[in-house]
Amino acid sequence: MVLIVNAFGTPYEHGQQARDQVLGSLSYYGSLFESTCGLDWPSVRDEATKYLETLERLCPEYLEEIRGIAEGAEVSLLDIVALNVRTEINFGLFSDEPELPIELDGCTALAIKTGNGSSFLSQNWDWQTRQGENLIVYTVHRSDADIPRFSIVTEAGIIGKIGLNESGVGVCLNAIKARGVDHTKWPVHLALRKVLESSSRQSAIDELVSTGLAGSAHLLIADELGATGLESTANTVELLPADDQGVVIHSNHLLLSHDGSEEHLWLLDSPQRSDRMQQLVTEELSSKQALNSSDIFKLFQDEDGYPKGINRDAVGDSSAETLFNIIMNLSERTATIAFGRTTNVVERVHVSF
């Protein structure tokens, strides 16, 4: 059973209720950072320290939440900061010759505004299977702040991830590997959190564009009016609008031009996945006026290119697997999270506002 954490009061609840999973995340990333970046944990903490001033300036309330999680789980503040900047460490400070295979991810994301007016946001989240046991569903109700309630699927200890809020704003994430970090900007996972505290897609985009992101990523941001892709490197932010069918599709490589970026195409199947999803969506829309959540889920069951591809499996030289799929209906403020590969679902969790 996936742990469901409902934080009605203090952030200590996250650390206390998910202590075992937080410790699991720390153990997992301790091994991963050493293998992919050549950083032992004291060096990881040193890197985390570089973000403290930025967190105090941009989001002191997030730093307090991180502190609460650390105290609740009885670990160091810097340990939890490190989890929340794991994208910048893993995808911005990577070694040229990592010990582990480079294929750790494989996420594919889709947003579509359908013919009947429904706005869907969805993705398969692919990662190493070991981290699957540390996934939680985290719902935050902040009575002390004027922000919407939100629910996310996240790795325990990380306060921003993939999900939606009661205003109908949702966000998905695609990892992108481009060298460089900027410690003065929004760490990617805290940028995700900022989106989830926004009342509209546009207000979220305005905030992130004005400050920039600390590392490389793609955030697919949507609300009931439609979707926009936000691609970032440590130096640039570019926006990807929906096409004339209301569709945005992304995987794990930059689709837009980013001056001065040093991108590494670490997942050779990434262009094939985005092309395949575009093909599947086009075929569906040619025969149907509007897609529903069942139609969208079937798209994410596609095994073209197996064991890689949209519905990934950790066999052979594929070291990542689809650990969950999420389909959000932002018009209705609902989401269904299917844990496991989309052809072998082990548990479903439903969220609604």
**Do 113 and 52 reside in the same domain of the chain?**
no
Amino acid identity of 249? I
In a shared domain, residues 25 and 72: yes
Q: Is the pLDDT of residue 344 over 90?
A: yes
pLDDT per residue as tens digits for the range 222-259 = 999 999 999 999 999 999 999 999 999 999 999 999 99
97 occurs within a structural domain: no
Q: What is the DSSP string of 176-194?
A: --BS---TTSB-HHHHHHH
Please indicate whether residue 151 or residue 13 has the higher confidence score (pLDDT). 151
Confidence (pLDDT) at 38: 87
**Do 16 and 7 touch, CB atoms closer than 8 A?**
no
d(CA 241, CA 84): 28
For residues 205 and 222, what is the distance between their CA atoms, to the nearest angstrom? 10
* Amino acid, single-letter form, for residue 328: M
Q: What does the pLDDT read at residue 143?
A: 73
Q: Is the pLDDT of residue 271 over 70?
A: yes
Are residues 30 and 150 both part of a single domain? no
What DSSP element (H or E) covers 127?
A: strand 119-127
What pLDDT does 78 receive?
A: 98
CATH of the domain at 23: 1.10.10.2120
Q: Three-state SS for 144?
A: coil
Residues 78, 154 within the same domain:
no
Same domain, yes or no: 114 and 87: no
Cα 13 to its chain centre, rounded Å, is: 22
Are 348 and 209 members of one domain?
yes
Determine contact, residues 59/194, Cβ cutoff 8 Å. yes
CATH number at 190 reads 3.60.60.10
In a domain, 102, yes or no: no
- pLDDT for the residue 184: 97
Residue 83 domain flag: yes
Same domain, 276 and 328: yes
Percent of the chain residues topping a pLDDT of 70: 95
Q: Average pLDDT, stretch 104-119?
A: 91
Distance CA 218, CA 254 (A): 8
Residue 99 placed within a domain = no
- Share the mean pLDDT of the chain: 93
10, pLDDT greater than 80 = no
pLDDT band at 103 (very low <50, low <70, confident <90, very high): low
Is residue 103 domain-resident?
no
The predicted pLDDT at position 260 comes to 85
Per-residue pLDDT tens over the stretch 21-71: 999 999 999 999 998 888 999 999 999 999 999 999 999 999 999 999 999
pLDDT at 96 over 80: no
Residue 84: inside a domain: yes
Residue 100: pLDDT above 50?
A: no
Six-digit token pair at 329? 């209906």
Q: How far is CA 108 from CA 29, 56, 186, 271, in A?
A: 22, 33, 23, 10
The residue among 205, 180, 179, 181 whose CA lies nearest residue 192 is 205
| Residue 335 sits in the same domain as residue 203 | yes
Examine residue 316 and state whether it is found in any structural domain, yes or no.
yes
Give per-residue burial for 256-270: e unless 16+ CB within 10 Å, then b.
eebeebeeeebbebb
Pairing of strands 334-339, 162-165: unpaired
List the domain range (segments joined by +) for residue 250: 108-352
- And the tokens for 5? 């954490």
3-state helix, strand, coil split of the chain in percent (to 5) is 35, 25, 40
At residue 289 the predicted structure's pLDDT band, cuts being 50, 70 and 90, is: confident
Same domain, 183 and 309: yes
Is 8 or 330 the better-scoring residue by pLDDT? 330
Element (H, E) at 202: helix 201-211
- The domain total for the chain is 2
Residue 100 domain-assigned? no
Q: Does 129 lie in the same domain as 235? A: yes
Query: Domain check: are 208 and 121 in the same one?
Result: yes
User: Is the pLDDT at 93 greater than 70, yes or no?
Assistant: no
Q: Distance between CA atoms of 309 and 322, rounded to whole angstroms?
A: 10
pTM over 0.85: yes
Read off the pLDDT of residues 191-223 as tens digits, 9 standing for 90 and up: 999 999 999 999 999 999 999 999 999 999 999
* Same-domain check for residues 70 and 197: no
User: Considering 92, 127, 152, which residue would you say is the last residue of a domain?
Assistant: 92
